[in-house]
Structure 1
Amino acid sequence: MTVMGIIGCRIFEDEIVHVLANDPEAEKIYLIKNEENIGLLHKLKSQGLDPVVLPFYELRTYLKQSDEFSIIVQLQEIGLHTDPARLKSKTYTNLNLMSRFADGILLFYGLCGHAFSRMQKDFSYFRCSLKLLQDRSAGEPAQPLEDCIAAALGGNSRYREILKSNSDTFFLTPMWAGNWKTAFRADEKFFPGFEFTPENLRELGYRKVAKVNTGLSYEPDFEKKIEEFALNFGFEVVELKGSKEIAQESYILMQKMLLNPLKA
């Protein structure tokens, strides 16, 4: 029995649906029972998959009864990036829980403001493999992604290049477009002394919103939500070609490490 764990931000919900729906090796999918996995559950079912939903404490019993390649998924709330200490603490707690069952854990996160910059050192005692999403751009050594937008745009280098000519642009992927109010706590204080308002965003220099089209269509009404955001903030809409390749490649690499360690 081989078990792969996935811990990720809900922002990567669509990418996780994509890799699981297109993986013939994933014989059994387990979702940890909590509200953050509800959207993922619905989307997986819409793709014809039938994941088992259960709490952590019941996992061992189910896994003992299976010789299949199994995936365990635990998503975390959108908006944790606004509090790096809380993001790190919550993720580390889930890593410790997941490591009791998984042979390898893939985190659907970038460095997120260096919240995970010490992760490998902090978990050097783990018996299981542990990886963040990896940027494997041609001609460059593999390195973690800066954040989820870098992943959606195809890597750190392309992200930096795009920022040079789009420094006044706010980037939205499908999941960001559908959840920005929650992610940025639009009804609360985003940071102490800062409110997520059109006036404050304009003061920070934003004038445009980028529709980052990753080619994934699990999240409905992407274009409508972008238009609503643009209207609300008085921004011009620009469209950027996105990518799902980094999520796909990182997933395949972890799977190969677990199923064919001598060939990975």
Structure 2
Amino acid sequence: MPLLTILSCKILQDEIVHILENDSSVDEILVVGNGQEDDFVFKLRKSGIDFRIISPAKIRSDTESYRNNPEQYTVMIYMVELALHEFPKILKAEIYKLLDELSTCSNAILMFYGLCGNVFDKIESDYAHLEGTCPVRILRDETRTVDDCVGATLGGCQEYLATLKKFSEHGTFLFTPMFAHAWREIMRVDPEKPEKTIKMLRKVNEVTGYKRVAKVRTGLTYTENFDEKVDEFAEIFDFEVLEVEGGQSLFEKCYSDIKDEVLVKSH
């Protein structure tokens, strides 16, 4: 049975915990200890999920026995730094580098990413040469790759567009629990001088017309204090707070599809 690697933005760690917690067929979980896994590991432990940390320098040697074990289905998780989203070219280069490396020790790779500003619009075609050995997949709905993590949580591109149209009167931030947890990191708020960054963000919001923040209900509770963190953000920027329903169906389907694909190939 295969080794499936999930290469993920840290913002989607809750969705991975949910998948692992609800898949009893996983024999072993490996988490790459690259310095980005702390929150994820905490949630795995809290959920009672067993796993093993492996060194990024020894991925190939540490996974060899799993990849070639016909009796065991293994999932390896590699979390990627959030701050790279600020630099699309660097993000693309880093992800492509990781795909080149991880494809040598995986039977398949599922990217927990969307287009991310069209950075990954050609990812599957660029790695089409690996179809026979390590297919690479990305989050997609029935027709195309989703735009980003929020679009995936809302269920796909049509649902995302409908939500954006619904909120088009004023600019609206869409916060999932992890986005709410990490908004300071995502918006690069200086921890030493937060007020300076927040003052600049207020001006940007005024210029761009952002006046609201919406809580995207994912159905997951792994990240604590979601409501409090969104309310804090709203208070800082004097925003109205709204709510929108999301879910896990798209993540579950993408995972199930690639899992079924590699399980069939392994027999």
Match of 1:207 among 193, 207, 211: 211
Structure 1 residue 109 corresponds to structure 2 residue 113: yes
Contact 2:154–2:246 (CA<8 Å) still a contact in 1?
A: yes
* Residue 122 (structure 1) aligned to one of 126, 130, 139: 126
- Corresponding position of 1:181: 184
How far apart are residue 187 of structure 1 and its match?
A: 2.4
User: CA offsets per residue over residues 181-209 of structure 1, 9 Å max, x none?
Assistant: 10121229xxxxx9851221121011100
| SS of residue paired to 1:187 | coil
Amino acid corresponding to residue 160 of structure 1 in structure 2: L
Matched, 1:166 2:172: no
Q: 1:225 aligns with which of 213, 217, 229?
A: 229
Gapped runs of 5+ residues in structure 2? 192-197
- 1:163 Cα deviation (Å)? 0.8
1:93 equivalent among 85, 92, 97: 97
- How far apart in 2 are the matches of 1:153 and 1:196? 30
CA distances 1:135-172 after superposition (whole Å, capped 9, x unpaired): 12xxxxx3110111101111110111111121221110
What is the aligned counterpart of 1:257 among 256, 261, 266?
Answer: 261
1:130-169 alignment, distance < 5 Å: 130-136=136-142, 142-167=143-168, 168-169=171-172
- Which secondary structure does the structure 2 equivalent of 1:73 belong to? strand
Aligned match of 1:216: 220
Cα deviation, residue 235, structure 1:
0.1
Answer whether contact 2:54 2:62 (CA < 8 A) is retained.
no
- Please report the TM-score for the alignment, with normalisation by the length of structure 2: 0.89
Root-mean-square deviation over aligned CA pairs:
2.1
- State the Cα deviation string for residues 48-99 of structure 1 (Å, max 9, x = none): 1111101141553454165410011101011322211011011111111111
User: Does structure 2 conserve the Cα–Cα contact (< 8 Å) formed by 1:111 and 1:146?
Assistant: yes
- Partners of 1:87 and 1:58 in 2: how far apart? 21
- Aligned partner of residue 134 in structure 1, secondary structure: coil
Relative distance call for 1:180 and 1:200 in structure 2 (3 A) is same
The aligned counterpart of 2:20 is 20
Counterpart CA distance in 2 for 1:26 and 1:173 is: 27
How many Å separate the matches in 2 of 1:184 and 1:77? 14
Higher fraction of helix: 2
Q: In structure 2, what residue type is equivalent to 1:133? A: L
Question: In structure 2, how many angstroms separate the alpha carbons of the residues matched to 1:63 and 1:25?
Answer: 20
> Residue type matched to 2:178 in 1?
M
Separation of aligned partners in 1, 2:59 and 2:107:
18
Q: AA paired with 2:157?
A: N
Instruction: Give me the TM-score of the superposition, normalised by structure 1.
Output: 0.90
The 1:132/1:256 distance shift into structure 2, 3 A limit, reads same
Taking the aligned partners of 1:8 and 1:61, their CA distance within structure 2 comes to 20
Amino acid of the residue matched to residue 10 of structure 2?
A: R
Aligned length: 254
Gaps of 5+ in 1: 137-141, 189-193
What is the identity percentage for the equivalent residue pairs of Structure 1 and Structure 2?
A: 33
Q: State the SS of the aligned residue for 2:128.
A: coil
Partner of 1:191: none
